[in-house]
C-alpha cells in the first residue's frame, strides 16, 4: 500500500479524549495572546499549547528510521509545495503523471505534518505503519526535534521564505482558518517581537541554517524565492539530495519538467479550488483551497506598508548578522 493510501485510513478521533493527560501547564510558561489563541514560550520558541504537548510526545515516542525524509518549515514558507515535490520525486517510478495521487489528493493528505496531526493520546500507529521511505513534515525547531531523527541521520529538507511574505501569508491563513479575525498591525507587532507560532521566525531559520552549513549532506536549506526562479534546477537538487538523481533518460524524456508542472502553484491550486472540500489537520478541518492563496514572491507590498517592511527587514538582518543567512 502506498503512503497516500495508508494515510487515508488514519483518524484523529481519539485526540480530544486524551488531551488532558499530556497537557502543558500554561501557568509555568510566559504566554502571549495572538489571534484567537494563547501562545506559550517553551524552550525559546512560541507555540499553541497543543503543539507543546505533541512535541513532548514525539520526543519520547517517535522512532525515526534511517531512510525517513523530514520536511521542516516555518509555517507558510512553502510546506505544501515541498510536500508535493518530495512525494512526486520519491515516488516517480511508481506513479504515472496521468494517474498521479496529486490529481486527487491534497499534498497535506499525502504527507503528514507530525506535530500537527498525531493524536494527543500518543498513538503513533498512523506514522509507524507507513511504508519506507517515509516522508514526514514538521514545524518543530531543529533544537526540539526528537533525538532519534539525529541518531538515525535522517535527511532534512528545510524551506524558508522572505519573512515579510511569510508574515502576510500566515496572517491570511490564520484569518481564513479561525473565526476570530486578527488585526494585521497587532499580528505584525507580535511578529516583530518574535511572537508567532513556532517563532521567533529568525531563530527557526537560523537553527536549520547552522545545521545545513555544518552537515550539508544531512540538511538541505532551500529558499522559496530561489525555487520560484529556477524550479527545474531545484527539483534536480532535491532528487540528488534524496539519493535518487534523475537519469539522463529521465531528463531527456522531460520528467523533471513534468514534476515541476504537476507540483506548480497553477496546477495544484486548480486541483484544490473547491470552497467546500477540507483537509483534516489535527483538531481543525481546513479548506483545501486555503493552502493556495497567491503563490507570489513579494505580495507583502499589497498588505503592509514600506515602513513595516523595512522594520521587519531590519530586525531580521540584526538577528541573522554574522550567520551568512540573508533574505
Which amino acids are annotated catalytic?
139
Q: Please identify, using beta-carbon distances, which residue of 263 and 325 lies nearer to ligand A3P.
A: 263
Least distance CB 300 / ligand A3P (angstroms) = 9
CA 4 – CA 106 distance, rounded (Å) = 10
Residues 78-117 that bind ligand A3P (CB under 6 A): 78-81
- Region from 25-33, 121-129, 291-299, 316-324 binding ligand A3P, contact rule CB under 6 A: 291-299
Least distance CB 322 / ligand A3P (angstroms) = 27
Count of residues near ligand A3P by CB under 6 A: 21
Compute the CA torsion angle 165, 169, 175, 176 (nearest 10 deg): 160
| 269 phi-psi bin (left φ>0, alpha ψ -120 to 50, beta other) | alpha
DSSP-assigned letters across all residues of 50-105: HHHHHHHHHHHH----TT-EEEEE-TTSSHHHHHHHHHHHHTTTT--GGG-GGGTS
CA 322 – CA 300 distance, rounded (Å) = 26
Q: Please identify, using beta-carbon distances, which residue of 87 and 292 lies nearer to ligand A3P.
A: 292
Please tell me whether residue 287 binds ligand A3P under the rule CB under 6 A: no
CA 69 – CA 90 distance, rounded (Å) = 10
Residues 293-322 that bind ligand A3P (CB under 6 A): 293-295, 299
In Å, the largest CA–CA distance within the chain is 60
- Region from 4-12, 120-128, 192-200, 263-271 binding ligand A3P, contact rule CB under 6 A: 263-271
Residues 46-75 that bind ligand A3P (CB under 6 A): 73, 75
Contact 105, 263 (CB under 8 A): no
C-alpha closest to that of 68 among 119, 12, 138: 138
Least distance CB 152 / ligand A3P (angstroms) = 25
Least distance CB 269 / ligand A3P (angstroms) = 7
Residues 151-190 that bind ligand A3P (CB under 6 A): 165, 169, 172
Please tell me whether residue 264 binds ligand A3P under the rule CB under 6 A: yes
Least distance CB 186 / ligand A3P (angstroms) = 19
Please tell me whether residue 265 binds ligand A3P under the rule CB under 6 A: yes
Please tell me whether residue 138 binds ligand A3P under the rule CB under 6 A: no
* Lookup: cell for 261: 508542472
For residue 59, give every residue at least 6 positions away whose Cβ sits within 8 Å of its Cβ, in sequence order, or none: 144, 146, 147
Q: Given the rule CB under 6 A, which residues bind ligand A3P?
A: 73, 75-81, 165, 169, 172, 263-265, 268, 291-295, 299
Amino acid at each position: 500500500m502506498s503512503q497516500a493510501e495508508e494515510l487515508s485510513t488514519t483518524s484523529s478521533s481519539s485526540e480530544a479524549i486524551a488531551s488532558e493527560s499530556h497537557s502543558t501547564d500554561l501557568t509555568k510558561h510566559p504566554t502571549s495572546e495572538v489571534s484567537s489563541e494563547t501562545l506559550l514560550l517553551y524552550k525559546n520558541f512560541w507555540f499553541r499549547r497543543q503543539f507543546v504537548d505533541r512535541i513532548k510526545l514525539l520526543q519520547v515516542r517517535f522512532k525515526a528510521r534511517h531512510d525517513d525524509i523530514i520536511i521542516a518549515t516555518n509555517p507558510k514558507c512553502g510546506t505544501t509545495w515541498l510536500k508535493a515535490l518530495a512525494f512526486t520525486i520519491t515516488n516517480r517510478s511508481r506513479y504515472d503523471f496521468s494517474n498521479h495521487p496529486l490529481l486527487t489528493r491534497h499534498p497535506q493528505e499525502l504527507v503528514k505534518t507530525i506535530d500537527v496531526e498525531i493524536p494527543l493520546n500518543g498513538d503513533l500507529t498512523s506514522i509507524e505503519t507507513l511504508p519506507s521511505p517515509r516522508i514526514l513534515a514538521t514545524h518543530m525547531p531543529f533544537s526540539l526535534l526528537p533525538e532519534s531523527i539525529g541518531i538515525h541521520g535522517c535527511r532534512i529538507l528545510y524551506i524558508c521564505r522572505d519573512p515579510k511574505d511569510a508574515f502576510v501569508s500566515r496572517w491570511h491563513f490564520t484569518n481564513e482558518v479561525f473565526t476570530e479575525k486578527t488585526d494585521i498591525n497587532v499580528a505584525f507587532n507580535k511578529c516583530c517581537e518574535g511572537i508567532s507560532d513556532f517563532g521567533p521566525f529568525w531563530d527557526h531559520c537560523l537553527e536549520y541554517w547552522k545545521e545545513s552549513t555544518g552537515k550539508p549532506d544531512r540538511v538541505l536549506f532551500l529558499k522559496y524565492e530561489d525555487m520560484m526562479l529556477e524550479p527545474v534546477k531545484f527539483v534536480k537538487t532535491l532528487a540528488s539530495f534524496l539519493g535518487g538523481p534523475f537519469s539522463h533518460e529521465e531528463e531527456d524524456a522531460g520528467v523533471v519538467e513534468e514534476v515541476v508542472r504537476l507540483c506548480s502553484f497553477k496546477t495544484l491550486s486548480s486541483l484544490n479550488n473547491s470552497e467546500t472540500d477540507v483537509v483534516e489537520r489535527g483538531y481543525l478541518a481546513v479548506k483545501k483551497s486555503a493552502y493556495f492563496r497567491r503563490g507570489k514572491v513579494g505580495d507583502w507590498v499589497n498588505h503592509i506598508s514600506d515602513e513595516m517592511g523595512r522594520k521587519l527587514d531590519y530586525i531580521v538582518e540584526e538577528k541573522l548578522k554574522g550567520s551568512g543567512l540573508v533574505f
